[in-house]
Structure formats: C-alpha cells, structure tokens
Amino acid sequence: MKHIKTIALLLALVMTLAVFASCNGSGDGDPTDAPATDAPATDAPGNNATDDPNANTPATPTNQLVLFDGGAFLANVIRADEADDLAKSTYTALRAAIKSAVGKNPEVTTDFDKENADKPAILLGNTAFAESAEVYSKLKTGEATAKYVNGKYVLAYTSEQGAERLIEEVAKLFSAYAKSNPGKLVIDATWNIKLTNADILGYDIGNLSAYIDLPEYNGRAFDKSNIGLGGNSFMHIAENTTFAEYESYLEDLYLNGFILYTENTIGENYYATVLTEQQIVNVMYLDAFKEVRVMVDDREEFGLPGLELNNKYDEIADPSLTVIGVGATGWPGGMGYVYKLVDGSFFIIDGGINKPDASTGITSSEWLYNTLVALADDPDNIVIAGWLLTHTHKDHLGAFIDMAEEPEYMEKITLKQLIYNQPTDQIMTETGHPERIPWMPNAIKLWKPECVVKAHPGQVFYYCDLKVTVYGSQEIVLPTFTDSHNNHSIVTMVDYQDKRALYLGDAEGLMNGALEELYGEELKCDILQLAHHGYNNTAAGPVYEIADPTIVFWPVSTGHYDGTGGATVRDVAFNQRFFAPGIDNHIAGETNMTIKDFYSWLPEDERWDPMK
C-alpha cells in the first residue's frame, strides 16, 4: 500500500511537469533544468528505407544516449532481474516520466539478459552491469544519484525517499528536453544529479540524533585535539593521513549516526559537512598537509550555508558591484564591497571603519547605509542576503558594529545571513585586542540575523547567481601561534557574472603561505583584492603570481596609495607586477565606484558620494 501511494504521487508529479512545460518552459531558478536547453540537438538513428541502416544516419556523439527518436525507442530501460517492491515502484515511476515526455512507454528489460551489456541503456537501481557497480561503489547511505557512464545513464539510490526525489529530478530533465525537442529524448552526459541526505529529506533534519560523540580517527586518537576556535567550537587534527582514510572516517561518522549535509572539492582538498541535532561537523582532507581536520560547531550558536538546490530567485534587478570609498587621507585602511544581486538584495564583504572621518565627521555606518539606500530598489525595505566579515578589525567590521546602534537603520534593513569566524578570547587577548572580544556578540544581538554561520574552508554559499567559496580561515593556520589577527582572515573566492574574485582580507604570512601550499592554481582569478591593503607582505608574492588577475582592488585611501597621506603602498615591491600592461588597478579612494554591466569599468571621474 505504501508503494502504491508513492507511485500515485510520482505519476501526479510527472503529469504536472508536462502541463508546466506546455505553459512555461523557462525553468529559471532550478539548477537541474539547464541541461534540457544545453544538450546538443543531435539527430538519432531511425528507420531508413535503404539496405544500409547507417547510410543516412549521423553518428551519435559518445556523450549522449538517444533514448527516443523518430517515434521509436532506441535504447532500453534495464532493471535488476530480482527486483524488490521499491525497485518495481521506482521503475513504474520512471516509465511514467518517460511516457509523459514522449507519449510512449519505453522498452524495459532486466539484467538477466547479458546481451544488453554493451548497448546504450538507462540502468535503474543496482543492476549486474559494471556501470551500476561503479556508481554504487561511491554512493553513501541515504544518497541518490544519476550519472552518465560509458553510454549508460545510471540511476542509483539507497532509500525510498531517495528514489522518489531522484525520479522527480530526472522527470524535470526529460520534460524540459521534450518540450524544446518534440519527438525526441536525448540524455546528455552533463545530466548528472547528486542528492545528499539533506536534499532528499527536503532540508528537514528533524530525525537527527541529539548529540553523538565523535568516533576515533580510524581506530586511533587524533594527534591534536580540542583546539579552540571561539565560543563552543573546537578542532581535532589527524596527521600523516591519506584520502582513503578520510573517506573511511566519513563512513564511520555515518555509521555512528551523523547525517551528510554537503560535500565539496577544491583542487586536491576534500570537504564534508555532517550533522546531528546539536552539532555541525566540518571535515576536511588537506592533501598538501596530509592531514584531516575536524571542526565542530554548536547548532545553538551557528547555522548552515544554504544548499544550491534550495537557491530559488527571480531576476528583477540589474546587478552591480560597488567598491566602498574609504577616504582621501586619514586612516590608511578600510575595506568594503557591495554586490547588488539580480533579485534586488545585497551581498556585502566587510564595510569600513568605525570612527568619524576627520574632515567630515561621517561614520562608516552612515556611509554604508546611504550607499545601500542609493542602490536599493526599495530604500525602505533593504535586504542583505549575506554579509561576510573577514576579521575583527575596525576598518573591516566597523560599519556592521556601528549600524547595530542605529535603530533608524535597523528598521529598514533585513539581514538574512551573517558569516564570520572570531577566534578564542585567549587569541584575541594574546594578539593585543581584548577590547574586541564583545564587539561581534553584542552587535549580533542587535542585528538579529536570521542565520549566523561560522566560516570554515570548503563551505559554499549561494545568493542568487553569486557563489561564495571559503578557501581560508583560522582553521588552516592553527594551532601555530601568530601575533597578528590578520592571519585569521576569512579568504573567499566569489564567482559572479562570469568573473572570479579572490578576496584576501588582511591575510599575512601564515595565511598566504597556507593558501599557496593548499590551493596552488585554484587561486587563479580575474579580480584580486590585495592582502592587507597592499602593504609589504612577503608571503603574498607567490599568491599574487598564481592569481594572475586582470583587475586589482586596492582597499586603501588615496593618500596612502600615492604617498600624500604618509606611507605609500604603490611602491611596495610585490605590488609592481600589477602595473604591467593589461591590468586595471582600482583604488578604493575617497568616494564609491559602482560597476554595472559586468565588468565595463566606470572611469574614475564617475565615482559618487552617497552623502550627496
């Protein structure tokens, strides 16, 4: 009875998709819709009147599976011969999805017939064929996936919920393709789908265990344990380890009851986030270090980055990037970047200094607030989708702290997500800044963001079509002591409007050295924010060389760029590479600069003052 209900729900789903496709085929906002319009429109083999069946038949690309063309099925659906009730109900739902797309039921056979081993096919479930075995060997408990392997489209799942969700996603692809290509259904090699536990459970992690003790690392104690990360967060380190041992440890976590939330890879570094009701556990394998580092956060303190599958939005606004002006002379630092997103909301990095400008008395909060008002489509309803604070120096988070004390600002601003990573009170004190310890906790209480995330390497944040990936935070430099809080800067790669921007915050020697060692060519970008305002920074040289940008942001006042305000960063040896032909340098300077029509840069004389 349970499976009959499942089949009925899935049949209703595919019929709804067919109706939707006939009315609205855009599919905007759903990441699984894109392949339907991108897949090559290659003619598939059909019935020919000639003696040679291939005489007039274009060759099918090796990265496609032609399922249906010319009124006939050209490939089969193959399921396991010994199918249980779940396999049978999933097969029924898949047939319904295909019929909804092309108007006919496909041929279905079982893996009992070994003659089909070398033929194109959809393999449903854990069949006896090598392609199914390959996909299932990498599938974790609770996951589901669709993957193109050797001319076959493998649909693999480990649970009833996973099978249902997988067929839903596949049905969307089939329906969208058939709408754009009537009478055909060609599966493209790019139609790969991976669903984690969180995806399958609809983001409702209500059945998690309350708290689970971390297992030992593959039967041995961690080499370093309980390294404080601030608040109730801590880190363990396993040294001299391998990727295989990292995978084995993840399996131990699953067997102990942790639920996989998401995974990521940057170069040769691997990341996974697993959950209980009370814990967020980020696990990373750092290949250059040959280490596994495990960070544990308290879910009462921190939330999670949103999943890509849940990133839905409407394109109603013109995107832009505003470089915040930090002054003419005065304080040499300051840094702020405001992305206006296509749904009209904002993503902010840092925001300026928390003290009045010596000549005007204007605070960074006034400057940033008026910038948002000028850029917003609705100045009375400003939505900040995400705000990233690289580290707890006033010239970076001053506006965030100052604005929290201004009720008239707060009434018109909604802060959805805050991203930061404050070290332990001990580190804050030992680096000479004990007065900064309460700044963020106090400001967060006043801001009341909907979600606060402690940044860790490997995390990915999605805001409309902007993607933020965390490359560095204190977790890649600890437990080595540094007397500079700059080495705890959060380093991110921001992908937006076909440009990659590497934001280094105030990263100094330890952080830059770790970035070079861990990521290498993954640091390549179009836009580079100079580390620590462009000051002399020996370890930044190799990072700059790898990044090889064509656009450079100098987060510094005009006077401290050219020397009229005292020190000059323009003449620093490691910065000379940026004066080569073909590189555009942009100084934060005295007033704002907004880039529209990514990335046709406005001339310097078109800067603007938000206070006027």
DSSP string, 458-482: T-EEEETTEEEEEEE-GGGTTTS--
SS3 assignment, position 79 = strand
Position 208 scores a pLDDT of 62
- Alpha-carbon gap, residue 141 to 459, rounded angstroms: 22
Other CB atoms closer than 10 Å to residue 500's CB: what's the count? 18
- Alpha-carbon gap, residue 461 to 474, rounded angstroms: 18
Pinpoint the residues of the chain covered by CATH 3.30.160: 208-304
SS3 assignment, position 187 = strand
Nearest to 388 by CA among 466, 456, 490, 457: 490
- CATH superfamily, domain 308-606, is Ribonuclease Z/Hydroxyacylglutathione hydrolase-like (3.60.15.10)
- Alpha-carbon gap, residue 314 to 220, rounded angstroms: 50
Position 5 scores a pLDDT of 37
**Could you state, in chain order, the average pLDDT of each consecutive group of 10 residues for the chain (612 residues)?**
39 35 30 33 33 42 87 92 82 93 90 79 92 89 88 90 90 93 93 82 55 93 95 96 97 90 95 93 98 96 89 92 78 84 97 63 85 96 98 90 91 97 92 90 96 98 97 96 85 94 94 96 97 82 94 88 74 88 89 78 69 80
Tokens for 535, please give them. 């000051």
Tokens for 432, please give them. 């000479």
Helices 160-180 and 2-23 meet at what angle, rounded to 10? 20
Q: Are 339 and 292 in contact, with CB atoms under 8 Å apart?
A: no
Nearest to 239 by CA among 221, 264, 213: 221
Position 3 scores a pLDDT of 39
- Alpha-carbon gap, residue 602 to 52, rounded angstroms: 62
Tokens for 114, please give them. 């070994």
SS3 assignment, position 594 = strand
Alpha helix ranges (H) inside 453-585: 509-519, 540-547, 558-562
**Residues 6 or more apart in contact with residue 38 via CB below 8 angstroms:** 188, 190
Secondary-structure breakdown of the chain: helix, strand, coil percentages, each rounded to the nearest 5: 30, 25, 45
Could you please state the CATH topology (level 3) that the domain comprising 208-304 is classified under.
Double Stranded RNA Binding Domain (3.30.160)
The number of CA neighbours under 13 Å toward the Cβ of 199 is 23
- CA-to-CA dists, residue 583 to 322, 379, 549, angstroms: 19, 35, 7
Q: Are 539 and 533 in contact, with CB atoms under 8 Å apart?
A: no
SS3 assignment, position 160 = helix
- Alpha-carbon gap, residue 338 to 322, rounded angstroms: 5
What dihedral do alpha carbons 381, 386, 392, 395 form, nearest 10°? -60
Q: β-strand 152-157 against 121-124: which pairing, if any?
A: parallel
Q: Are 387 and 415 in contact, with CB atoms under 8 Å apart?
A: yes
Q: Are 449 and 301 in contact, with CB atoms under 8 Å apart?
A: no
Block residue for tokens 């956060």: 297
Position 107 scores a pLDDT of 81
Q: β-strand 152-157 against 144-149: which pairing, if any?
A: antiparallel
DSSP character at residue 167? H
- CA-to-CA dists, residue 528 to 419, 504, 583, angstroms: 20, 8, 11
Other CB atoms closer than 10 Å to residue 290's CB: what's the count? 14
- Alpha-carbon gap, residue 515 to 79, rounded angstroms: 47
- CATH superfamily, domain 2-195, is Chitobiase/beta-hexosaminidase domain 2-like (3.30.379.10)
Give the amino acid at 461.
Answer: F
ω into residue 479 within 30 of 0, thus cis? yes
Q: Are 470 and 491 in contact, with CB atoms under 8 Å apart?
A: yes
- Alpha-carbon gap, residue 303 to 203, rounded angstroms: 13
Pinpoint the residues of the chain covered by CATH 3.30.379.10: 2-195
Other CB atoms closer than 10 Å to residue 524's CB: what's the count? 15
- 326 phi, psi to nearest 5 deg: -115, -5
- Alpha-carbon gap, residue 3 to 268, rounded angstroms: 42
Pinpoint the residues of the chain covered by CATH 3.60.15.10: 308-606
Nearest to 169 by CA among 191, 201, 143: 191
**Residues 6 or more apart in contact with residue 332 via CB below 8 angstroms:** 533, 556, 557, 559, 560, 565, 566, 567
- Alpha-carbon gap, residue 531 to 540, rounded angstroms: 7
Q: Are 531 and 540 in contact, with CB atoms under 8 Å apart?
A: yes
pTM over 0.85: no
- Alpha-carbon gap, residue 216 to 221, rounded angstroms: 5
Cα Rg of the chain, angstroms? 27
Nearest to 544 by CA among 560, 563, 567, 525: 525
The number of CA neighbours under 13 Å toward the Cβ of 181 is 24
**Residues 6 or more apart in contact with residue 488 via CB below 8 angstroms:** 391, 421, 423, 427, 473, 474, 477, 482, 511
Block residue for tokens 């440890």: 249
Position 412 scores a pLDDT of 95
